[in-house]
Structure 1
């Protein structure tokens, strides 16, 4: 009897679970979401979507549950899916607002700006979205200036490195040139030394020859002076 009762209870639970609609799963998910049980809420929303893939509320809420778990890329996918099937403009505004928040948190300001603008098209009265849009534009400008400064610094560093390399190359070329000049200069110096030696030798020979000629002439002439004693 107990076994039959247990079986009936289990069957009843299974039938109840099977009979639960996508809206009921969404409500269960919402209760868990408000209790900050985001992982469990995610499960409920996925069950709702499996029941009815066109339930835009389930898809949007799944994106929110994923976002609260820092699963940002997965959350964006669900928000984009919700945007394709959602017809209510206020909900569409919320979808794009949340996409903007995720992009802003990741400093993807261009994407965030587009999302916020799309959100304001659906709900022009949303001041929070308008504020976020203005902030993103300011942050994008600041980011652009920072990137420009970094690019200028990088270009300057590259230029300095190139100038350093050019100077080093010029220095090495000068060394090679000096080395070549020294090599050329050395044979020239050796040639000059050889030429000087020959000139000196010729001069010495000429001088010696002239001296011999003078002595020869002197010996041929009679001396008119007396010889003096040496001291």
Structure 2
């Protein structure tokens, strides 16, 4: 049992020694990588000072890939981008520097410059938050404090302008809605006028058609004479018939009178046979 315990202890001790050696080895490798990264950063700084931006950018990227503990390389690369107005790339590098930075001074610089990028983009509320974070890491920096006050003032001004813009937009919408209502009302009135005019025209046409129907004779009938006799007035045909009747009566009377003249009065002496 004692032998087994001794073996277990020896194995545990060996594991601790091996782990410690591995950690030491990793530490040495990290220190070596950081050293190489810093050397590349120094080269990039030199190239950037000589206006060799492309070479400097490449060395900064190599330095960043060598060690995540190097906060200076992404910060300096971000500054180079910022000077060239490549704000999106600059912000990404400043953010990276703030994440890997161990010292408060490095974090302060990273968040201060992130605030500057937000100011350039007129995103003042985010700039306020970035400057606040920078001051948490260095409350004594007067430049950051001034930028924070300026960002607050601009954010408030921007907020008021947005409110005024919303009011103007609402007023415009109300005006458009009112004009639309008036237009619809005018269109409705015009439609009603046209409808009334059309109905009146239909009614007039209907009345005219009725009159025409009254005036037109039915099929097979002769048109009536416009010069119809008034009530109690004889028509020419009736007058002609009456004249003929009167003439006939007169002829009859004349015939009777003629018969009397021919016969004469009866004689008193008549011959006997």
TM-score, with length taken from structure 1? 0.69
Deviation at 1:59, TM superposition (A): 2.0
2:68–2:100 contact (8 Å) kept in structure 1: no
Q: How does 1:159-198 map to 2 (within 5 A)?
A: 159-186=174-201
Tell me how large the CA RMSD over aligned residues is.
2.6
SS at match of 2:80: helix
Structure whose CA Rg is larger: 2
Aligned to 1:28: 43
2:79–2:90 contact (8 Å) kept in structure 1: yes
Q: Matched residues in 2 for 1:136 and 1:26: separation?
A: 32
Aligned to 1:39: 54
1:41–1:65 contact (8 Å) kept in structure 2: no
Deviation at 1:61, TM superposition (A): 1.6
Q: Matched residues in 2 for 1:191 and 1:59: separation?
A: 93
Deviation at 1:142, TM superposition (A): 1.4
The structure 1 segments of at least 4 consecutive aligned residues displaced by more than 4 Å after TM superposition are: 186-195
Deviation at 1:68, TM superposition (A): 2.1
Q: How does 1:69-80 map to 2 (within 5 A)?
A: 69-80=84-95
2:151 to 132, 136, 148: 136
1:39–1:69 contact (8 Å) kept in structure 2: no
- Segments of structure 2 that go 5 or more residues without pairing to the other structure are 1-34, 212-229, 233-273
How many residues in Structure 1 have an aligned counterpart in Structure 2?
A: 181
Aligned to 2:134: 119
SS at match of 2:63: helix
1:38–1:66 contact (8 Å) kept in structure 2: no
Aligned to 1:109: 124
SS at match of 1:21: helix
Q: Greater helix percent: which structure? A: 1
Q: Matched residues in 2 for 1:72 and 1:177: separation?
A: 63
